């Protein structure tokens, strides 16, 4: 493998561990738990794994001689910086348990378990991937583990490899599936434990016991470097407004964190839009107002951050999208009729098949955006939000609003736009020191949970604003994080997504500053991730965590 100078140096980095994981480990069980909502329904669905206690690790005595453990690991869903360190933490942890322990990686995500595609991860392989970004050591995939036939196929290969446990590294859906799998194997007394690890750059897998999901720190640092570079350019050229869309379909954690790191002029928060029932025109008026006020000060430039999923949080857009999803659902007569039309006639046809209010909204959109809303649906039949250029929608509508204000003599400035979407740029970056340490600790924690015979738990590492030695490792039952939600017309148990809390300290601090940031030019230029140097530069957690734990 050809490696860069940075990779060579990072290969030598030894991630920091909590002191409770450095020697012998003592397991301390807390109170029994219950789910965050719908406890009766969740307990009924998970009788074998519901109500288990919280677990905390403490420094222990040497303990009894351990036996080898064989473990399978799966990377599930989208990439996030630090996944390779979770795997290296598992590997080192099980080798510490016994030198003859083995780790197997299932290839291409959960599908590798079902299709029996795997490889043994040896020390030689692991050492090539320590402290590197990406999921390329074994690849990832989005196969959902939901059916008993899949569970049984997985059990076949688990038995063939003599596996004691599976570790599933993924987001809320993947860990929900891990919990279902753990329950099924416990019910069958199959002898295969299932442990989860919290991954997603979106930051929406978090709660009292999971302070942050891994990858969020690194991704937001990458995006913030790029935003800072653009802000420096905007402040130099002084002639462009940059509209930047950031990943985050369900929650605006990325946008909020990047805003706290860089202090742009405008940051939209989807959760606020939904809570205030803001219309598209109200959002456009707010943005045009900021542009106009800055122009009055002679500053015809600025930066606006826009969350990827914003469009689904705007009430009239949410209704419009729902109507479009029904109208253009795969296999319906209306969808077939739509596809038979000439492209030049399609938008007019769609508008004629919508309710009066939605037709009015649809016709008000720039034609390019309206067309994007009619593109092929995702596998679940929903509009593909990431393909909608929300940044261009808002830019065009702000431009139109400013033209109107100019005619009324209320705007005399200039408005030129540049558009950006930062998504894949952050998913596979080399992990920051924080994520390198955090992920390694999560993997090591998973190995201890396995050694202790636990199943249905997610690895948990807390107290993350303290130095790594003071972090608190343990496990949280996945059922504790669950509630019942409607998915594809049926009520299903899922891990509750964590949206931006409008009563939370990070959001409240942002609100206290955004007026000042809108009118002034208070940009912060974070620069690239620092891997080498003093702790205050290299090892800091996110601004979100600092404010939450202050």
Record the tokens describing residue 219, joined without a space.
């991704």
> Which letter does DSSP use for residue 141 in this model?
B
- Picking from 26, 16, 35, 34, the residue whose alpha carbon sits closest to that of residue 55 is 26
> What is the C-alpha separation between 513 and 505, in angstroms, rounded?
12
CB atoms under 10 Å from CB of 108, counted, come to 18
> What is the C-alpha separation between 289 and 267, in angstroms, rounded?
14
What are the residues facing 58 on neighbouring strands?
Answer: 26
The distance between the two most distant Cα atoms of the chain, rounded to a whole number of Å, is 83
**Element holding 156 (H helix, E strand):** helix 148-160
- Which of these is catalytic: 202, 204, 217, 435? 202
> What is the C-alpha separation between 443 and 167, in angstroms, rounded?
9
* Cβ atoms of residues 87 and 182 within 8 Å: no
* Cβ atoms of residues 190 and 155 within 8 Å: yes
CB atoms under 10 Å from CB of 533, counted, come to 10
State the DSSP string of 473-532: EEEEEGGGGEEEEEETTEEEEEEPP-PPPTTSHHHHHHHHHHHHHHHS-------SPP-S
> What is the C-alpha separation between 248 and 380, in angstroms, rounded?
18
- Picking from 176, 54, 52, 57, the residue whose alpha carbon sits closest to that of residue 444 is 57
Q: Is residue 202 among the annotated active site residues?
A: yes
Q: Nearest-5° angle of CA 93, CA 97, CA 101? A: 85
* Cβ atoms of residues 222 and 529 within 8 Å: yes
Residues 363-367: contacts with CB under 8 Å, at least 24 apart: 364/280, 365/393, 366/392, 366/393, 366/396, 366/397
> What is the C-alpha separation between 153 and 114, in angstroms, rounded?
5
* Cβ atoms of residues 441 and 210 within 8 Å: no
> Count of residues for the chain?
550
Tokens 């399609």: give the residue.
Answer: 346
> What is the C-alpha separation between 136 and 129, in angstroms, rounded?
9
Catalytic positions, please?
202
């Amino acid at each position: 493998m050809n490696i860069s100078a940075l990779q060579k140096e990072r290969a030598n980095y030894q991630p920091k561990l909590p002191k409770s994981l450095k020697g012998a480990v003592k397991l301390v069980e807390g109170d029994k738990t219950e789910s965050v909502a719908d406890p009766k329904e969740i307990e009924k669905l998970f009788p074998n794994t519901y109500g288990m206690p919280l677990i905390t690790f403490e420094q222990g005595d040497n303990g009894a001689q351990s036996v080898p453990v064989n473990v399978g690991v799966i990377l599930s869903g989208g990439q996030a910086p630090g996944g390779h360190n979770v795997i290296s933490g598992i590997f080192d942890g099980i080798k510490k348990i016994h030198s003859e322990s083995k780790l197997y990686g299932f290839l291409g995500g959960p599908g590798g378990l079902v299709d029996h595609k795997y490889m043994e991860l040896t020390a030689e392989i692991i050492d090539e991937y320590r402290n590197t970004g990406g999921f390329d050591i074994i690849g990832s995939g989005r196969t959902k583990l939901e059916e008993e036939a899949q569970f049984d196929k997985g059990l076949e290969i688990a038995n063939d490899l003599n596996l004691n446990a599976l570790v599933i590294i993924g987001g809320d859906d993947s860990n929900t599936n891990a919990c279902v799998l753990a329950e099924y194997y416990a019910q069958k007394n199959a002898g295969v434990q299932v442990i989860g690890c919290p991954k997603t750059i979106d930051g929406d897998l978090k709660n009292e016991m999971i302070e942050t999901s891994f990858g969020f720190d690194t991704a937001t640092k990458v995006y913030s470097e790029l935003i800072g570079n653009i802000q420096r350019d905007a402040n130099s050229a002084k002639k462009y407004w940059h509209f930047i869309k950031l990943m985050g379909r369900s929650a605006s954690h990325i946008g909020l964190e990047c805003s706290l790191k860089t202090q742009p002029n405008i940051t939209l928060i989807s959760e606020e839009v939904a809570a205030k029932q803001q219309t598209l025109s109200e959002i456009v008026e707010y943005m045009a107002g900021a542009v106009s006020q800055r122009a009055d000060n002679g500053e015809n430039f600025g930066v606006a951050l826009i969350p990827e999923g914003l469009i689904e949080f705007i009430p009239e857009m949410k209704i419009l999208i729902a109507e479009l999803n029904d109208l253009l659902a795969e296999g319906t007569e209306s969808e077939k009729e739509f596809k038979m039309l000439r492209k030049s006639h399609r938008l007019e046809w769609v508008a004629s098949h919508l309710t009066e209010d939605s037709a009015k909204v649809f016709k008000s959109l720039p034609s390019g955006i309206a067309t994007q809303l009619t593109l092929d649906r995702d596998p679940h039949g929903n509009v593909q939000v990431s393909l909608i250029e929300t940044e261009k929608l808002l830019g065009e509508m702000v431009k139109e609003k400013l033209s109107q204000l100019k005619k009324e003599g209320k705007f005399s400035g200039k408005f030129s736009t540049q558009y950006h979407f930062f998504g894949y740029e952050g998913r596979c970056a080399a992990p920051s020191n924080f994520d390198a340490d955090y992920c390694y600790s999560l993997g090591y924690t998973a190995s201890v949970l396995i050694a202790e015979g636990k199943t249905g738990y997610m690895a948990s590492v807390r107290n993350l604003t303290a130095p790594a030695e003071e972090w608190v490792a343990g496990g949280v039952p996945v059922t504790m994080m669950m509630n019942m939600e409607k998915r594809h017309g049926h009520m299903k148990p899922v891990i509750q997504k964590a949206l931006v809390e409008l009563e939370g300290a990070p959001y409240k601090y942002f609100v206290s500053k955004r007026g000042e940031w809108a009118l002034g030019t208070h940009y912060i230029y974070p620069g690239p991730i620092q891997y080498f140097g003093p702790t205050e530069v290299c090892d800091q957690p996110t601004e979100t965590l600092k404010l939450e734990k202050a």
